[in-house]
Amino acid sequence: METVIDSHNISKVYEETAIPVHAVSEIHLHLERGEFTALVGPSGSGKTTLLNLIGGLDRPTTGYVEIGGVNITKLKDNQLIDFRLNNIGFIFQSYNLIPVLTASENIEFIMLLQGRSKSERETRVHELLRQVGIEDKHDVRPAQLSGGQQQRVAVARALASKPRFMLADEPTANLDSVAAGNLLDIMAKLNREENMTFIFSTHDARVIDRARRVITLQDGRVISDERYAQK
Amino acid sequence: MLGKIAWRNVWRRRGRSIVIICSVAIGLWAGLFVTSFYFGFAEERIRSAIEMEISHVQLHHPEFKKERDVRFTIPRTGELLKWLSTNPYVQHVSGRLTGRGMIASASGNSGIQINGVTPRDEDTLTKLASKLVEGKYFPGTRNNEILIGKKLSQKLKVKVGSKLVLTMQDKAGSIASGAFKVVGVFATKNTPYDEMNVFAARNDLAIMLGDSLAITEIALLLNSQDSVDAFVRIAKARYPALLVEGWRTVAPEMDLVISVIDQMMYIFMGIVLLAMAFGIVNTMLMAVLERTREIGMLIALGMRRSRVFAMIVLETFFLMLAGTPIGMVLAWATILYFGNHGIDISAFQETLRSFGYSDVIYPKLGLYQYGQVLILVALTAFISALLPARKALKLEPAEAIRK
């Protein structure tokens, strides 16, 4: 199996106050291509911090993260930004689409940053919109879309760069059950058909229920790491 | 796409952007109009000085200007005047016998500049006849006719028909004097000039000084003000023994007026743009703070900080440049209207004329000045963008996304 993420003894300590806060402590994590993994745990357990460290949005205080064999902890700021662009797809709880761009422009934007050609961008935008089932909304700005539709655009945007894996921080937290179900179906299909690696932080039982690996965090430490058969 | 995002971002807070765009437009309009007013003011002074006092080009004996002594006449004036009157650059020529002297009436006396002129040539050159407010322009009914300025006539308490005595040194250094009769009183837009100058027929003055051919000054109006330098070069090459000077050399204070007005434009526009810059910095800082999460997300997704910087700078440019054409067109239209109709400031006539300024101002601004202002606006936009853009650059994606 191809290793996608390898974290080596990573810890993150915030020292904004006089008392250091150990958000994540000595975590070893090994994820392989095609995994559908949920990070679970109570609020403040370190799920988001761990996702940020894996996604290169933050740097660990100790330890390092390797993605596809590249030690991203050692990358300089611009190298890290480019690495994220080309290797990681992000899905956020609040969708975080660019409000002044239409659905298709939001998806195309990532490919523009990658310097892809116009024809390639157009073809891929069309394909991604079809994949997430909102082709008819291509010319609509995020404010005119429902939460579920916005999150689908966010998934399509995350896929646009052809990433190695997708990081999703509480992707269903703001969605009703139907929208959440539809979104999970799309992600499960991508995982099944394209062998796309997903790692979620979540409280949502529906997500946990669909995951084939569930890593439980508490006080910044992994307290359990369980694998399930294909769901 | 960056440009598209920046342009659309400008319109996210429509009301706020419109206020800034209006303030840019009004600021530019006011700044450009006031500048054009000062340029018009200066131009009018220069135009009237050239027309009445200094002409485009003056020719003298090289020693003449030291003491304005009539001993230093221009040699071989016949040939010179013939060449000048047929020169394609030259529109009008007037040969003068000028010098310093005294004028005396029954009520007083005064030191003055005495101008002996050929009446027809002088009128063609300076339109002196049109400036008469009393009497006639050298009617030629008798010898020793003289025109004096209104201010001088008041000072000496004389009027048309009064007799005056002119006294000046002749070529030998002896005192020569003659009685002259006032045939006309002139009033220009320059009160000190009116107080300091009298005009008599050159022949009468020459007889008084004992040299019937004497000319100490030749004044020229050219077909175009732009050809002054070229003509001066040609005339200097042809008559190296003469002092040939363009109006900027004859009256360097006029050149100073232009450069002062030019500097005033920079200072005035600088103040206007500085005020705008504060408004824009404030607006853009607000925009960056409001969009902290969005900017953090852009960096998280893979947008380099240099592109974030460019996006904020572009946004600031758009915000400022959206108001610029409105302000410039407004200013252009206002300047065009008042440039044709003039602005009457005769309420300050007394003060203005004592400094030689006209009481009707025709605002004027060249394309060059519009270009300069455009560059200043672009520079202001860039400087205004630096602080908000720096703020955006410092955002850490993980932190910004949580906000």
b/e burial code for range B80-100 (CB count within 10 A of at least 16 → b): bbeebeebebbebbbbbbbbe
A interface with B, Cβ–Cβ below 8 Å: 48, 52, 55, 57-58, 77-78, 81-82, 84-86, 90, 92, 94, 96, 98-101, 105, 108-110, 112-114, 157, 161
The predicted complex's ipTM stands at 0.89
Instruction: Tell me which of B369 and A71 has the higher pLDDT.
Output: A71
Whether pLDDT at B215 is above 60: yes
Residue B302 has pLDDT above 70, yes or no: yes
Query: What is the predicted pLDDT for the residue at A190?
Result: 84
Element (H, E) at A40: strand A36-40
CA distance A55 to chain B (A): 9
Residue B377 domain-assigned (yes or no): yes
Give the 3-state secondary structure of residue B88: coil
Q: Answer whether residue B304 is part of any domain.
A: yes
> Domain boundary at B193, B218, B241, which?
B241
A161 contact residues in B (CB cutoff 8 A)? 302
* B225 and B268 together in one domain: no
Average pLDDT rounded to a whole number, residues B126-145: 91
Q: Mean pLDDT over residues B371-391, rounded?
A: 88
What does pLDDT average to over chain B? 88
The predicted structure's pLDDT at residue A141 = 93
Task: List, for residues A38-55, the tens digit of each pLDDT value.
Answer: 999 998 899 999 999 999
Distance CA B250, CA B64 (A): 13
pLDDT digits (tens, 9 = 90+) for A90-137: 988 888 899 999 999 999 999 999 999 999 999 999 988 988 888 888
Asked if the structure places residue B19 within a domain, the reply is: yes
pLDDT at res. A92: 86
User: What is the CATH number for A48?
Assistant: 3.40.50.300
Same structural domain, B210 and B267: no
Res. A231 pLDDT band, cuts 50 70 90: low
B370 touches B333 (CB < 8 A): no
Q: Are residues B23 and B166 in the same domain?
A: no
Helix (H) or strand (E) holding A165: strand A165-169
- On whether both B107 and B186 belong to a single domain, the answer is yes
Q: Where among B241, B273, B303 does a domain terminate?
A: B241
Q: Do B302 and A96 touch (CB under 8 A)?
A: no
Residue for token pair 């572009």: B314
Q: How far is B321 from chain A (nearest CA, A)?
A: 20
Model pLDDT for residues B6-39, shown as the tens digit of each residue: 888 888 888 888 988 898 899 889 988 988 988 8
The pLDDT value recorded for residue B397 is: 85
| pLDDT tens-digit map of A174-225 | 888 888 888 888 888 888 888 889 999 998 888 888 888 999 999 999 999 9
The pLDDT value given to residue B208: 87
Query: Which residues of chain A lie closer than 8 angstroms to B397, CB-CB?
Result: 57
Residue B378 confidence (pLDDT) above 90: no
**A105 contacts in B (CB within 8 Å)?**
1, 4
The predicted pLDDT at position A16 comes to: 67
Q: Is the pLDDT of residue B324 over 80?
A: yes
Boundary residue ending a domain (B214, B241, B268) = B241
Distances (CA, A) of A96 to A162, B289, B397, B398: 19, 16, 12, 13
- Whether B56 has a pLDDT exceeding 90, the answer reads yes
Strands B109-117 and B197-201, by their bridges, are parallel
Name the token pair of A210: 């669909």
Q: Of A12, A48, A57, which to mutate for an interface test with B (greatest number of B Cβ within 10 Å)?
A: A57
B210 and B111 both lie in a single domain: yes
Give the Cα separation of B298 and B304 in Å (integer).
8
The answer to whether residues B237 and B260 belong to one domain is no
Q: What is the CA radius of gyration of chain B?
A: 31
CA A148 vs. chain centroid, Å, equals 16
Long-range contacts of A207-214, Cβ-Cβ distance < 8 Å, separation of 24 or more: A207/A38, A207/A171, A207/A172, A207/A180, A208/A38, A208/A40, A210/A36, A210/A184, A211/A36, A211/A37, A211/A38, A212/A35, A212/A36, A212/A37, A213/A35, A213/A36, A213/A37, A213/A38, A214/A37, A214/A38, A214/A40
* H-run or E-run covering A8: strand A3-14
Average pLDDT of B54-80? 88
Ramachandran class of A58: left when φ > 0, alpha when ψ lies in -120 to 50, beta otherwise: beta
Q: Are residues B126 and B156 in the same domain?
A: yes
Measuring CA to CA, which residue among B323, B353, B55, B308 is closest to residue B188?
Answer: B353
Q: Do B302 and A105 touch (CB under 8 A)?
A: no
Please name the residue that has the structure tokens 């009256």.
Answer: B251
Is the confidence at residue B76, as pLDDT, over 80?
Answer: yes
* CB–CB contacts below 8 A, A to B: 62
Number of domains chain A is built from: 1
pLDDT in tens, B149-172: 999 999 999 999 999 999 998 877
Task: State yes or no: pLDDT of B72 exceeds 70.
Answer: yes
The residue-averaged pLDDT of B221-245 equals 92
Predicted confidence at residue B398, as pLDDT, reads 80
Same domain, B112 and B184: yes
Q: Provide the domain limits for residue B337.
A: 2-49+254-402
Mean pLDDT calculated for residue range B351-361:
75
Q: What is the pLDDT of residue B212?
A: 66
- Structural domains counted in chain B: 2
Cβ atoms within 10 Å of A144's Cβ, excluding its own: 12
Residue B55 lies in a domain: no
B12 interfaces chain A, CB cutoff of 8 Å: yes
Q: For residue B231, is pLDDT > 80?
A: yes
Contacting residues of B for A86, CB less than 8 Å apart: 302
**Residue (of A23, A35, A26) closest to A8 by Cα position:** A26
In the predicted model, is pLDDT for residue B282 greater than 70?
A: yes
Domain, as residue range, for A203: 3-227
* Structure tokens given for B101: 């002297």
Average pLDDT over residues B73-79: 88
Q: Is there a single domain that holds both residue B199 and residue B259?
A: no
Higher pLDDT: B253 or B332? It is B332
pLDDT digits 0-9 by tens, A162-178: 888 999 988 888 888 88
CA pair distance A217, A206, nearest whole angstrom: 18
Query: Is the pLDDT reported for residue A230 higher than 70?
Result: no
